A and B are shown apart, each in its own frame.
Chain A
C-alpha cells in the first residue's frame, strides 16, 4: 500500500519534472507569489484570468500552473501582511497581529524567514497527507452509487456554504443561487432550454470564466477602487542578511509550527473549513497553550509560525477531497475543478486511476513548487517588497483588459464579455448586501453534476426519495448534513439569545476582514 503510493509518487515526479511541466509550475508559483504580494489582487481573480490561457495547454501543465498560482499566492500574502499590516488575503489576517509588530521592531526579516520555513513545513505535511490519504479515500469512493455521490455533494455544498465566512444562511442562499445559475442552458437529459430567456447565446449555459471573472474580477475591482491606499513602506526595508533567524527564534517556533500543521491538516479534512479558519483556530490554540498569552499581538514569533504552518498544510490538504472525490471545499478548488472539466476531464474518484499523470504530477509539483517558492522568496525578497509599491491605479485597469480579452478568447464571443459585466454588477450588489460570492461558484460548478446524480438516483429507485436514507453510506452523509444544519441553527439561536440586547445580527459587509477574524476565533475559544 505504502509502497504503491511511493512508486506512484516517483512516477509523479517524473511527470512534474518534464521541462514544459516544470516551466508551467514555475510560471504558476511566480505569478501566484506576485499577486499574493500585490494588494487588491487575489488568487481567485488571477486563476480566472489565467484560465482562458490554459485552453491551449495540455491538462497536466494547465493544472500545475493554476495550482501553483494558488499556493504561490499564500506565500506572497504573508509578505504583504507582515511588512505592511495589510491582510490582502483572509488567511493571513492573523499573521498581521504578530507579524507587523515584529516588523516595527526591525525583525521583519526574521518573521519572513520563519514564515517561509513554517509554510514549507506545513505544506510538506499536507502533501504527505495527500499522498497517503487520497488512494484510501478513492478506494472507498469507488463503491459509491449515484445516491451516495449525491448526498456527499449535498454535504460538501452545505459545509462549503455554512462554514465559510459571513452569515451561514446567506451562504446557503448563495449556493442555491449558484445551483440555479448552473441550470441555465440546455438540459442534459431532455434537451429542453431552461432559463435562457430566448437568448441563443445562453443555450450552452453561463461560461465558468464569465462567472468567475464577473464575481471575483469586476466585482472586486468595484469594491476596492479608490479604497486601497498605497502601502506604508517605511518599515519594509528587508535585506537578505536580516533574514537569517537566530537559533533561539527557530527553537521557539518549532513546536508552534508542528501544532499549526496538525491543526491545519485536521481543518483540511473537514470540507468547507479552508485555510482561513485553520489559521484562526491555530492562533487561538497557540495563544491558549503559551505561557505568556498576554504577549501575543506584540510581536511573538510563535504567533507568526503557527498560523502560517496551518494555513499551508490546510491549503494542500484541501486538494484531497477535490482531487479524490471531486468535491471542492472552497471557491478556488471549485475553479480548479472547473479548469479540469474544461479540459474534458471528469472529476471524481476515477480521476486518479484514469489520469494518474494529472494527480501524481500535481502532488509532485506541490513539492517542487514549494521548493521553488522558498528559493524565490529568500533571495528575491527585495524585489517582492518593491512590488508592494505598485499603485492600485495601474493595476486594475491592466487587469480589466485581461478580464475582457480572457473572456472573449474563451469562445471568441463578445456576448460573454457583456455577461461578465452583468454578473460583475450583480456580484458587487450582493457583496454590498453582505452576501459572499464564493459559494455561488461552488454551487455553479457542482450544480450540473448534482442534478445528474440526483436524477439518476431517483431513476434507479423508481422515484423513491427514501433511497437516500436507506443506503447506509448515503444515510451517514445525510445525517451529517442534518447535524451540520442543527449545529448552525443552535449557534444562531444562541447568538440571538446572547445578543438580543445588542442587536446587529448580520455582519456589516465593509467589516469583512474583522468578521472573518471574529467568527473563527469564537470557534477556537
Chain B
C-alpha cells in the first residue's frame, strides 16, 4: 500500500530518463527502470499481505510541533542569513529549534540560543573567517 506511493513518486525518474538523449541518458534510464521494478516488487509485497498492519507512517505520538520547529530553524537561518547576517540567523535558528522540545521553556531556549550565538560567531567569524557578515541590514 504505502510503498505503491513510493514507486509512484519515483516514476518521474523513469520518465525523465527515457526522454534524455541516448548518451548521457543511458544510466538514468537503466537505474530508473530498476527502481521502478523494485518499487513494484515492494508495492507487491505490501499489497500481498492483509491490510491494516504496517500502515502507520506516523509514529505513535506525532511530534508536529517538534518537526515544525526543527524544519523552521534552518529556513529562518536561510532567510535571516541572507538579509541580516550571521548573528540573528544563528539566534533564531537555535531558539526556534529549541522550542520544539516538550520540556523547553522560552527562557531556557533563549539562554541556549544566546550562548550558541556568541560561541558560533566567535568560532566561525573570527577563528574560521567565514564570509558572512555578523550583522547587517540588506532591506527586503
Q: Point out residues on A near B: beta carbons under 8 Å.
A: 53, 56, 169-170, 172-173, 176-177, 179-180, 183, 187, 189-190, 192, 194-195, 218, 221-222, 225-227, 391-394, 396-398, 400-401, 403-405, 408-409, 412, 414, 417-418, 420-421, 424-425, 428-429, 432-435, 451, 454-455, 503-506, 508, 510
Shortest distance from the beta carbon of B47 to any chain A beta carbon, whole Å: 11
CB-based contact B20/A192 at 8 Å: yes
Inter-chain contact A506/B102, CB cutoff 8 Å? no
Query: Within the assembled complex, what's the spacing in Å between the Cα atoms of A413 and B95?
Result: 22
Please tell me if the beta carbons of B73 and A400 are within 8 angstroms of each other in the complex.
yes
A151 to B132 Cα, complex, angstroms: 45
A401–B57 contact, CB under 8 A?
A: no
**Chain B stretch 104-130: residues in CB contact (< 8 A) with chain A:** 104, 108-109, 112-113, 116, 120, 124, 128, 130
Chain B residues whose C-beta falls within 8 Å of the C-beta of A218 in the assembled complex: 70-71, 74
The answer to the question of B138 belonging to the interface, with a C-beta cut-off of 8 Å to chain A, is: no
B85 contacts A by Cβ under 8 Å: no
Q: Which residues of A contact B60 (CB under 8 A)?
A: 510
Give the contacting residue for B124; candidates A409, A417, A504; CB below 8 A: A409
**Residues of B contacting A225 in the complex (Cβ-Cβ under 8 angstroms):** 63, 66-67, 70, 100-101
Please name all residues of chain B whose beta carbon is closer than 8 Å to the beta carbon of A408 when the two chains form the complex. 77, 81, 130, 132
Chain A contacts of B102 at CB under 8 A? Answer: 226
Residues on A with C-beta less than 8 A from B124 are 405, 409
The size of the chain B interface, using a CB distance under 8 A, is 68
| Nearest CB of chain B from residue A398's CB, rounded to whole Å | 5
Q: Which residues of B contact A400 (CB under 8 A)?
A: 70, 73-74, 93-94, 97
Alpha-carbon distance A398/B104, docked complex (angstroms)? 14
Q: Flag B13-54 by CB within 8 Å of A: 1 or 0 each.
A: 100100011011101100110110011011001100110011
A398 to B66, CA, bound (A): 15
Distance in angstroms between the alpha carbons of A429 and B131 in the assembled complex: 34
Q: Which residues of A contact B66 (CB under 8 A)?
A: 222, 225-226
In the assembly, what is the distance between CA of A95 and CA of B6, in Å?
36
Asked, given contacts A401-B94, A403-B74, A405-B90, whether A392 binds B28 with beta carbons under 8 Å apart, the answer is no
Majority secondary structure of chain A interface residues (helix, strand, loop or mixed): helix
A433 touches B6 (CB 8 A): yes
Known A176-B31, A189-B24, A226-B61; judge A404-B38 contact (CB<8 A): no
| Interchain nearest-CB distance for A180 vs B (Å) | 5
Decide: A393 near B45, CB < 8 A? Known: A404-B73, A421-B75, A432-B59.
no
A417: which B residues are within 8 A, CB to CB? Answer: 74, 77-78, 81
Cβ contact within 8 Å between B73 and A503: no
Closest to A186 in B: B24
| Complex Cα–Cα for A79 and B45 (A) | 40
Inter-chain contact B112/A180, CB cutoff 8 Å = no
The verdict on A412 contacting B41 (CB below 8 Å), with A192-B24, A417-B78 known, is no
Q: Which residue of A lies closest to B82 (CB)?
A: A414
Q: Which residues of B contact A432 (CB under 8 A)?
A: 57-59
| Interface contact A187-B24, CB-CB below 8 Å | yes
**Contact at A396–B97, with CB atoms within 8 Å?**
yes
Q: Say whether B71 contacts A397, CB under 8 Å.
A: no
- Most A CB within 10 A of own CB, among B21, B32, B35: B35
Contact of A510 among B49, B59, B132 (CB under 8 A): B59
Known: A392-B101, A417-B74, A510-B59. 10 other contacts (CB 8 A): A177-B10, A194-B25, A226-B100, A393-B98, A397-B97, A400-B97, A404-B81, A408-B81, A432-B57, A455-B27
A398-B94 contact given A225-B63, A225-B101, A503-B49, CB 8 Å threshold: yes
**Contact, CB under 8 Å: A433 / B3:** yes
B20 lies within 8 A of A194 (CB): yes
Which 7 pairs between the two chains have the least Cβ-Cβ distance? A393-B101, A397-B97, A225-B66, A397-B98, A187-B24, A192-B24, A173-B38
Q: Are B28 and A195 in contact (CB under 8 A)?
A: yes
CB distance from B132 to the nearest CB of A (A): 7
Known: A401-B120, A404-B77. A394 touches B70 (CB 8 A): no
State the Cβ distance, A149 to closest chain B Cβ, in Å.
Answer: 16
Q: Is the CB of A189 within 8 A of B54?
A: no
Residue of B nearest to A510 (CB): B59
Tell whether A222 pairs with B70 under 8 Å between CB atoms, given A53-B128, A405-B90: yes
Q: Which of the residues B13, B24, B81, B131 comes within 8 Å of A180, measured between beta carbons?
A: B13
- Evaluate contact between A183 and B31: CB separation under 8 angstroms: yes
Cβ contact of B103, chosen from A393, A451, A508, cutoff 8 A: A393
